[in-house]
């Protein structure tokens, strides 16, 4: 009684105390209480207490529901029947009480049925039990009907801590009871006030009704009731849910294909089509129209294969879906976009015509269908064009609304690409060009110029750029000529610039007699000075133009450098941001790549000059050099990284890096404490190494010497990922073996001293991540140096310590390293390393296996199961019966309360099968093992307490 009062008091504090900190304290206490064994009895007592207020009832019903779902195993087996009877009494008490409470109790009873077999439940199982209770206690039918509704939903609930085998069995039990449930629901139709609830329950049960034939359902009273309610405003939503489930039911993967479901399809489609007139009925409630539109969209998505035949009946559905697509509300019109995408695939892909016997018949049928659907897709292009028009009040809209508008444009762009895949790019372009010409023609030249339709048509033309042939000479020359005549309204100019960038490849292929590039460059420079948004579009377009038209620019470097210097200097009125200026750096870099070597060297110096000058000025500030914010360095160094990445002239870049090395060395020496600057500088060096390769010469030696020394002083992970690039480029070069051997020994030796416990890994996940990425690189590119090295065993020990790190990337890198080692040993080229690897892995094998099993069963998130399983499989492939022995011993440590003998035996058998080369079910078995051991917190704690993965690393084995 005292604890019950405490719960009431805590709830009163939680909901009504003025002090937030006091409310938070009460909340924590209540959460802790929910995990106690006392929560069962206290919650049950308070729910039966007539004096409990609504807050207490809701909290206790949620607690009891959660306890049944997750902690049922806490109770002794004899507690089941009293618990069931108590929950049923509560369900009767609240049959007309607060809906929230009744729902929680219903879910609790359903969860109880998942845990308990039909034999233990008695009365023929829960559905028969409900049937008996409905017959004898008709006054409680509303509550029992809610229980009947949640049963199928709970069948798929992974919140219930049931074993996978029991969950599958429960699904079968419910499926076999579907007809009984349908009979109960049919009887409940006699209660008019329960019709909505009956339809909701019927929709829920349809997901488990695969054993009921389509012909039976076609004439079933519940189906007839749902179809008749489609014209009832009161029951429309519930009826739509039923019909939607019925549509999905007719596309289930049963035997017989569509013909087996035709009796049901033939009554569903006419009833849905009968709703077409309501789509544009302005007097109807908006939510009702959405519900009806969803039915049409479901019908289109589900029957797309039948619709693709092009029959007269299917074209009626297509025209209805065009009507949905034309609805002024985007949320409604966009419901059809998925259908148009799948219809296009069905019509254009060859495998859709596999039933036809010859290529000639396939081509004939394909042409017939494309001809039939040509007009609907033309109409679709015209319909969606207006969807992308900027709203008049766009500038006044919230950031969220503006983001939604951009998503609309992306979605429409995808629809246009689908249309162009069916119609052909040129045919789609003609439709959109007519829209553009019409929009331009409707515009006056005064200040009220309506630019939105022009921009919309141009945006659509841009969206299909990849569908247009480079040989197109009819429409695109007119489009490009028109661009220069359009006003420089910011959003319109932004789209003009984006369109130029989108058609950069076509521009490069344009007929020589039409010199269109110079005026387009003028437009881009105008875009750079109009607004930040147009400048961003212009610089990106400039990058594309230079990439694809680089040969045309090779004689115009002076003009390009002029634009570049104005943009990065901030002078001349350009509105180019620091990030967007990087596109100009890329643009000039790709043009320089086309120059002869001597010219390229000079051009590269000019490109680097502003950045180098700025860095030298900062270095020249003496003591103040240390105080400069990192952003001022990274801003300039990232430009150099961009240059090294995009100037694809190894010798030229290597020469530039050699000249710049003293500058880099100074930054390395004086800013090594600065993580952001070091990351930026290492990235620049990485791209320099990647581009220059073997031309790096003496610079690479100086670079390796520097990063080795600095890593030992400052522990910056970026030195590791720079080393990864060096290993990739030079790992197989015998002349670099001495340098690389020293690098490997030092980097890994120092890292393993930093990562001595799982807490060290958690505190430094970036070092762990980059260390094991580097180790995997060593396995791939220089195993001769890495595997025999003295650091190899300690690196494996270190990996075992950190394998259960929760950081996603670091964990993946460690697991990948372990699997790479094992894969190497299992490969033909790795046989020569096998004795070394056996000496390292075998003494650690049992411990490693235990860590992997602990990781599968809860030490790592379930999202890591695939990677952990692969390591265990690779280990089993390497050491066969030894792993089976290790696994058998380890799995036996888990108490039978968490894992039964049968489940343990199934896991050991999967290991034995994998050891013999049969691993087809290996991953599935491990997933089930993981599911069982994670079914609730109590079980997970028991399993982890038994395996203790974090306590297995006290001493390294040498």
Average pLDDT, the chain: 92
DSSP secondary structure code for residue 894 in this structure = S
**Structure-token pair, residue 819:** 């699997």
pLDDT band of residue 806 (cuts 50, 70, 90) is very high
pLDDT band of residue 958 (cuts 50, 70, 90) is very low
pLDDT tens across 326-358, in order? 999 999 999 999 999 999 999 999 888 888 888
Block residue for tokens 């150099």: 640
Least confident of 7-11, 299-303, 540-544, 562-566: 562-566
DSSP secondary structure code for residue 282 in this structure = T
What local confidence, expressed as pLDDT, does residue 955 receive?
45
Which comes out higher in pLDDT, residue 624 or 309? 309
pLDDT tens across 172-194, in order? 999 999 999 999 999 999 888 89
Which comes out higher in pLDDT, residue 43 or 955? 43
Q: Are 164 and 111 in contact (CB under 8 A)?
A: no
Least confident of 32-41, 247-256, 423-432: 247-256
3-class SS of residue 316: helix
Distance of CA 838 to the CA centre of its chain: 39
pLDDT band of residue 513 (cuts 50, 70, 90) is low
Range 126-136 average pLDDT: 92
What local confidence, expressed as pLDDT, does residue 956 receive?
43
pLDDT tens across 738-785, in order? 888 999 999 999 999 999 999 999 999 999 999 999 999 999 999 999
pLDDT tens across 833-846, in order? 999 999 999 999 99
Q: Are 243 and 190 in contact (CB under 8 A)?
A: no
DSSP string, 364-426: HHHHHHHHHHHHHHHHHHHHHHGGGPPPTTGGGS-HHHHHHHHHHHHHHHHHHHHHHHHH-HH
Block residue for tokens 């921009």: 455
Q: Are 745 and 937 in contact (CB under 8 A)?
A: no
What local confidence, expressed as pLDDT, does residue 257 receive?
67
For the cut 70, the answer to whether the pLDDT of residue 954 exceeds it is no
* Predicted model pTM: 0.88
What local confidence, expressed as pLDDT, does residue 537 receive?
96
pLDDT band of residue 734 (cuts 50, 70, 90) is confident
Q: Which residue in 555, 528, 531, 529 sits closest to 543, CA to CA? A: 528
Q: Where are the alpha helices (DSSP H) in 672-807?
A: 675-692, 698-714, 718-730, 737-754, 758-763, 765-781, 783-786, 791-802
What local confidence, expressed as pLDDT, does residue 560 receive?
85
pLDDT tens across 213-234, in order? 889 999 999 999 999 999 888 9
Give me the numbers of helices (H) and strands (E) for the chain, helices first please: 51, 0
Based on the number of CB atoms within 10 Å of its own CB, is 465 exposed (0-12), middle (13-18) or buried (19 or more)? buried
pLDDT tens across 70-84, in order? 999 999 989 999 999
Q: Which residues contact 555 (CB under 8 A, 6 or more apart)?
A: none
Least confident of 480-494, 726-740, 837-851, 920-934: 726-740
Q: Where are the alpha helices (DSSP H) in 755-858?
A: 758-763, 765-781, 783-786, 791-802, 808-826, 834-841, 845-854
What local confidence, expressed as pLDDT, does residue 957 receive?
39
Q: Which residue in 325, 329, 306 sits closest to 382, CA to CA? A: 325
d(CA 818, CA 823): 9
Which comes out higher in pLDDT, residue 737 or 323? 323
pLDDT band of residue 256 (cuts 50, 70, 90) is low
Q: Are 528 and 574 in contact (CB under 8 A)?
A: yes
Range 279-304 average pLDDT: 92
Least confident of 176-190, 725-739, 802-816: 725-739
Range 267-286 average pLDDT: 90
Range 631-637 average pLDDT: 89
Residue 637 — left, alpha, or beta (φ > 0 → left; ψ -120 to 50 → alpha)?
A: alpha
pLDDT band of residue 544 (cuts 50, 70, 90) is very high
For the cut 70, the answer to whether the pLDDT of residue 650 exceeds it is yes
Q: How many other CB atoms are found less than 10 A from the CB of residue 23?
A: 16
For the cut 50, the answer to whether the pLDDT of residue 239 exceeds it is yes
Q: Which residues contact 914 (CB under 8 A, 6 or more apart)?
A: 873, 876, 877, 922
pLDDT tens across 25-39, in order? 999 999 999 999 999
Percent of the chain residues past pLDDT 70, beyond the cut: 98
């Amino acid at each position: 009684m005292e604890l019950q009062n405490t719960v009431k008091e805590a709830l009163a504090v939680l909901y009504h105390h003025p002090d937030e900190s006091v409310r938070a304290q009460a909340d924590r206490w209540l959460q802790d209480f929910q995990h106690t064994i006392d929560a069962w009895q206290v919650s049950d007592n308070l729910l039966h207490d007539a004096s409990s207020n609504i807050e207490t009832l809701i909290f206790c019903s949620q607690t009891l529901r959660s306890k049944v779902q997750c902690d049922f195993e806490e109770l002794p087996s004899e507690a089941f029947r009293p618990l069931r009877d108590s929950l049923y009494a509560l369900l009767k008490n609240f049959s007309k009480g607060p809906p929230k409470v009744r729902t929680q109790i219903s879910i609790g009873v359903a969860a109880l049925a998942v845990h308990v077999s039909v034999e233990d439940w008695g009365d023929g199982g829960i559905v028969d039990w409900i049937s008996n209770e409905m017959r004898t206690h008709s006054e409680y039918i509303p509550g029992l009907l809610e229980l009947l509704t949640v049963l199928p939903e709970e069948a798929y609930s992974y919140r219930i801590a049931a074993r996978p085998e029991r969950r599958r069995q429960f699904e079968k039990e419910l499926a076999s009871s579907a007809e009984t449930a349908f009979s109960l629901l049919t009887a409940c139709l006699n209660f008019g006030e329960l019709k909505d609830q009956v339809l909701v329950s019927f929709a829920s049960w349809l997901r488990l009704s695969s054993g009921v034939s389509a012909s039976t359902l076609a004439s079933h009273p519940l189906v007839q009731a749902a179809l008749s309610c489609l014209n009832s405003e009161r029951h429309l939503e519930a009826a739509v849910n039923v019909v939607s489930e019925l549509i999905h039911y007719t596309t289930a993967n049963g035997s017989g294909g569509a013909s087996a479901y035709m009796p049901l399809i033939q009554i569903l489609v006419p009833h849905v089509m009968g709703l077409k007139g309501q789509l544009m009925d302005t007097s109807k409630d908006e939510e009702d129209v959405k519900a009806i539109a969803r039915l049409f969209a479901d019908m289109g998505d589900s029957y797309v294969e039948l619709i693709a035949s092009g029959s007269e009946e299917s074209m009626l559905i297509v025209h209805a879906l065009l009507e949905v697509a034309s609805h002024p509300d985007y949320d409604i019109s966009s419901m059809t976009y998925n259908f148009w995408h799948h219809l296009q695939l069905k019509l254009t892909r060859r495998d859709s015509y596999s039933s036809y016997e010859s290529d000639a018949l396939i081509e004939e049928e394909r042409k017939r269908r494309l001809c039939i659907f040509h007009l609907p897709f033309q109409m679709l292009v015209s319909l969606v064009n207006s969807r992308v028009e900027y709203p008049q009040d766009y500038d006044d809209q919230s950031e969220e609304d503006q983001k939604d508008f951009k998503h609309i444009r992306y979605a429409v762009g995808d629809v246009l690409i689908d249309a162009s895949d069916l119609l052909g790019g040129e045919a789609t372009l003609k439709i959109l060009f007519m829209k553009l010409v019409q929009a331009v023609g409707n515009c006056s030249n005064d200040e009220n110029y309506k630019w939105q339709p022009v921009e919309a048509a141009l945006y659509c033309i841009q969206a299909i750029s990849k569908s247009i042939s480079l040989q197109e000479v009819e429409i695109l020359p007119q489009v490009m000529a028109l661009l220069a005549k359009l006003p420089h309204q910011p959003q319109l100019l932004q789209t003009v610039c984006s369109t130029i960038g989108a058609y950069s490849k076509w521009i490069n292929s344009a007929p020589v007699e039409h010199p269109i590039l110079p005026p387009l460059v003028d437009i881009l420079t105008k875009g750079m000075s109009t607004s930040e948004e147009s400048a961003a579009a212009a610089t990106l377009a400039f990058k594309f133009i230079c990439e694809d038209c680089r040969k045309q620019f090779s004689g115009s470097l002076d003009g390009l450098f002029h634009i570049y210097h104005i943009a990065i200097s901030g002078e001349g009125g350009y509105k180019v941001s620091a990030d967007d200026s990087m596109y100009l750096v890329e643009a000039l870099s790709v043009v320089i790549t086309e120059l002869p070597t001597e010219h390229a060297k000079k051009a590269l110096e000019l490109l680097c000059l502003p950045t180098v000058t700025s860095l030298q000025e900062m270095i020249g500030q003496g003591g103040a050099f240390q105080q400069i914010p990192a952003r001022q360095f990274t801003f300039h160094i990232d430009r150099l990284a961009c240059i090294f990445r995009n100037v694809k002239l190894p010798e030229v870049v290597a020469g530039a890096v050699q000249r710049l090395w003293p500058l880099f060395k100074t930054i390395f020496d004086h800013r090594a404490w600065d993580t952001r600057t070091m990351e930026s500088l290492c990235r620049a060096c990485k791209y320099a190494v990647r581009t220059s390769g073997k031309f790096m010469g003496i610079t690479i030696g100086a670079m390796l010497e520097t990063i080795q020394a600095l890593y030992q002083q400052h522990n910056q992970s970026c030195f590791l990922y720079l080393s990864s690039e060096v290993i990739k480029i030079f790992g197989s070069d015998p002349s670099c073996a001495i340098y690389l051997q020293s690098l490997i020994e030092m980097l890994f030796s120092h890292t393993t001293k930093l990562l001595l416990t799982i807490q060290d890994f958690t505190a430094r996940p970036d070092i762990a991540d980059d260390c094991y990425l580097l180790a995997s690189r060593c396995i791939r590119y220089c195993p001769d140096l890495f595997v025999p090295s003295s650091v190899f065993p300690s690196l494996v020990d270190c990996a075992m310590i950190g394998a259960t790190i929760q950081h996603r990337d670091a964990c993946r890198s460690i697991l990948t390293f372990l699997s790479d080692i094992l894969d190497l040993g299992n490969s033909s080229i790795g046989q020569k390393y096998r004795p070394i690897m056996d000496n390292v892995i075998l003494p650690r094998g049992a411990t490693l296996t235990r860590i992997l099993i602990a990781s599968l069963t809860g030490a790592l998130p379930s999202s890591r199961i695939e990677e952990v399983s692969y390591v265990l499989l690779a280990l089993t492939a390497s050491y066969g019966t030894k792993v089976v022995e290790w696994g058998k011993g380890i799995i036996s440590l888990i108490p039978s309360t968490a894992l039964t003998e049968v489940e343990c035996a199934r896991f050991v058998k999967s290991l034995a099968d994998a050891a013999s080369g049969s691993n087809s079910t290996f991953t599935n078995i491990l997933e089930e093992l993981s599911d069982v051991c994670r079914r609730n917190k109590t079980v997970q704690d028991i399993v982890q307490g038994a395996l203790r993965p974090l306590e297995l690393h006290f001493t390294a084995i040498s």
